[in-house]
Structure 1
Amino acid sequence: MGGLLVRRLLYSLLVLWLVSTLVFLFLHLSPVPVERVIGGPRASAETLAQIRANLGLDRPVPVQYGDFLSRLARGDLGESYINGTAVADLIADRLPTTLWLVFGAAVLWFAGGVAIGVLSATRAHGLWDRVSTVFVLLGMSTPAFVMALVLLFLFSTMPAEAGLPYFEAGPPLQEHFWRRMVLPWISLALLLVAAYARLTRGSMLDVLEEDYIRTARSKGLPERRVVYRHGLRAALAPVFTQFGIDLGMLVGSTIVTEKVFGLQGVGQLVYQSIALGDSPVIIGVTLTVTVFVIVANLVVDIGYSLLDPRVRLA
């Protein structure tokens, strides 16, 4: 276990360095100068030069890169070009909303996808299997913004005094937070529950054909015990792997859901920062998402060994 953690830590540092370097180079080679975004289309050459000097963009790129890595090693993500606020503070303010969104949706899509997949596998080629197949096809072919807008149209309520939906943006754990988050959770979960149902079904069908399953049945064990105790544990290994990857990736890919439902999370922050050309915020969010993906993969590696005893953490 210790060796795995050390190797993963070194690997994580390498990934963080590569990601930060690529994002730094990509944003600094952007055809739209930051000083033009900040100064506006009518800013004079002197004003633009002063903005570059204030931001330190007039220095050579290697010097900027070295300063960037030095600050990053200290945990300093820099300051926003637009309002001068620390990037870490901006992310910390928005991250709880996104984490609540991803966590709630994850519970729904994992539980729903596994339940549908197991029932489809145990009733293969039956009525339930055909119905779930149609559901999977619809779920996987529906774009995220369409799903969100349909739920918004069907279930939103519009207070007359405000003229705004009840899930208007706001920090979590305030009044009506849970009611405000129900539709975003369902919208995000429906897009993945179909994929998890298909993955679970295929994995369960493969496992139920294994020799040890036939042996368990020949011993007279109840079918429920054979399916859920012996079959499901092995079938969940690839599902759990995909779950960990998706959980980490979704932290930075909830732009559509947050935009439609007015949630002020990390997705909205990225959207606004790209529109304004706020490079430090974009880099900071990218690195934050990278950390979540790395942690999710580490948890998956450990959890996989618990689900499949044949895997050892050497």
Structure 2
Amino acid sequence: MGQFLIRRTLFMVLVLFVVSVLTFLIFMKLPAGDPARMMAGQRTNAEDLQEIRENLGLDQPFWVQYGRFAKGMIPWPGLWLNEQIYYSYTNNVAVKEEIYPRFPYTFALAIGAAVIWLAVGIPVGVISAIKRRTFADRSSMIIALIAVSAPVFWLAYLFLYLFWFKLGIAPPSGIPSDEGVVQAMITGRFVLPWIVLAAAFAAFYSRMTRGNLIETMGEDYIRTARAKGLPERKVIFKHGLRSALTPVVTMFGMDLGILFGGVFITETVFNIPGLGQYAVRAIGNNDIPAVMTVVTIAAAFIVILNLIVDVLYAVLDPRVRYS
């Protein structure tokens, strides 16, 4: 296992390097306009444009610009004052000075939604599999189908209308500037975003858990366990559910990466000052360094989660072995 972790970690570093280089190359070659002119405006002279290009490092070779971009993402406060840090094109502020204060909001939103969809989706799927073809099974699967089909932005506006505007039991969208992440969670400002973001995933996981558990309960080793006289509860939860959750773990690692797409919409609708809202504004302003940094952070998040999923595979399924 130790050698496996070392190999996977080295491979993860290589993947992150390749992804960051490709991301930087693609965005720097996009015809998004002259960044220097975007900062200076249309009414400027050639000397001012050249000075801005030199300050941004746009006149330097590709690898020098990439080095500044990579260095600008290093989460080390002492480097924030370094003149080589990559700056935003719209406000001439170091990108990571804007990104890292926003990261806790996105992290809290993503982790909270993940906890909810696992806490709801898996138990509902297990109950539906155990109570197969009953009213509880059919009704829960119908609700799950509706939740999977509902767009995130539609659910967000519907929940805001019902629970804030009509019923008044939920706080309005937005987080005050003087309110941190912990205080925002205490005051309930993350409750609706968590539910909206988790709804489709919880529905999908309930359907997947149900199907996997029903299939697993028909395996030979399950029949053998029953023939030995093991209690049905032990057969289901110790032998059946453990194998049924292996595909769920795989999907969970990928879905946390896909979650960034839902975060963009959710943070925009609920006015949460996280990475998603920042990325949407950066795309609208053609702020290339900001968009590149968010994309690279998302890629790093996915790669790290895949490493964690590979390790959990061996824990959940004894048949998995690493050479």
Match of 2:215 among 193, 196, 206: 206
Q: How does 1:96-135 map to 2 (within 5 A)?
A: 96-135=104-143
Q: How does 1:133-172 map to 2 (within 5 A)?
A: 133-156=141-164, 166-170=172-176, 171-172=180-181
Q: CA deviation at 1:4?
A: 1.3
Q: C-alpha separation between the residues in 1 aligned to 2:148 and 2:321?
A: 34
Which residue pairs with 2:59 in the alignment?
58
1:37 aligns with 2:38: yes
Whether the 8 Å contact between 2:56 and 2:87 is mirrored in structure 1 is no
Q: C-alpha separation between the residues in 2 aligned to 1:126 and 1:165?
A: 38
1:181 aligns with 2:190: yes
CA RMSD of aligned residues (A): 2.5
Residues 96-117 of structure 1 deviation map (CA, whole Å, 9 limit, x = unaligned) = 1111111111111012111111
Q: C-alpha separation between the residues in 2 aligned to 1:146 and 1:22?
A: 34
Change (3 A) 1:281 1:231: same
Which residue pairs with 1:312 in the alignment?
321
Change (3 A) 1:177 1:37: farther
Which residue pairs with 2:24 in the alignment?
24
Which residue pairs with 1:283 in the alignment?
292
Change (3 A) 1:61 1:308: same
1:78 aligns with 2:86: yes
Q: C-alpha separation between the residues in 2 aligned to 1:176 and 1:6?
A: 37
Whether the 8 Å contact between 1:252 and 1:266 is mirrored in structure 2 is no
1:232 aligns with 2:238: no
Structure 1, 237-246 or 43-52: larger mean CA deviation: 43-52
Q: C-alpha separation between the residues in 2 aligned to 1:180 and 1:48?
A: 44
Q: CA deviation at 1:189?
A: 0.6
Q: C-alpha separation between the residues in 1 aligned to 2:184 and 2:277?
A: 21
Change (3 A) 1:46 1:253: farther
1:272 aligns with 2:281: yes
Q: C-alpha separation between the residues in 2 aligned to 1:200 and 1:284?
A: 35
Q: C-alpha separation between the residues in 2 aligned to 1:100 and 1:295?
A: 17
Residues 206-263 of structure 1 deviation map (CA, whole Å, 9 limit, x = unaligned) = 1100111111222332222211121111111110111122224425651100011110
1:48 aligns with 2:49: yes
Stretches (4+) displaced over 6 A: 70-77
Q: C-alpha separation between the residues in 1 aligned to 2:44 and 2:283?
A: 21
Secondary structure of the structure 1 residue equivalent to 2:182? coil
TM-score when scaled to structure 2? 0.87
Q: Unaligned 5+ residue runs, structure 1? A: none
Q: CA deviation at 1:63?
A: 4.7
Which residue pairs with 2:82 in the alignment?
none
Match of 1:263 among 267, 272, 276: 272
Structure 1, 272-281 or 168-177: larger mean CA deviation: 168-177
Of all paired residues, the percent bearing the same amino acid is 44
Change (3 A) 1:148 1:49: same
Q: C-alpha separation between the residues in 2 aligned to 1:179 and 1:293?
A: 28
Structure 1, 63-72 or 296-305: larger mean CA deviation: 63-72
Whether the 8 Å contact between 2:38 and 2:90 is mirrored in structure 1 is no
Q: CA deviation at 1:176?
A: 6.3
Structure 1, 229-238 or 15-24: larger mean CA deviation: 15-24
- Letter of the aligned partner of 1:10 in structure 2? L
Q: C-alpha separation between the residues in 2 aligned to 1:154 and 1:70?
A: 46
Which residue pairs with 2:203 in the alignment?
194
TM-score when scaled to structure 1? 0.89
Q: CA deviation at 1:28?
A: 1.2
Structure 1, 70-79 or 272-281: larger mean CA deviation: 70-79
- Letter of the aligned partner of 2:55 in structure 1? N
Change (3 A) 1:270 1:118: same
Whether the 8 Å contact between 2:9 and 2:307 is mirrored in structure 1 is no
Whether the 8 Å contact between 2:16 and 2:303 is mirrored in structure 1 is no
Q: C-alpha separation between the residues in 1 aligned to 2:233 and 2:128?
A: 14
Change (3 A) 1:41 1:133: farther
Which residue pairs with 1:95 in the alignment?
103
Change (3 A) 1:275 1:246: same
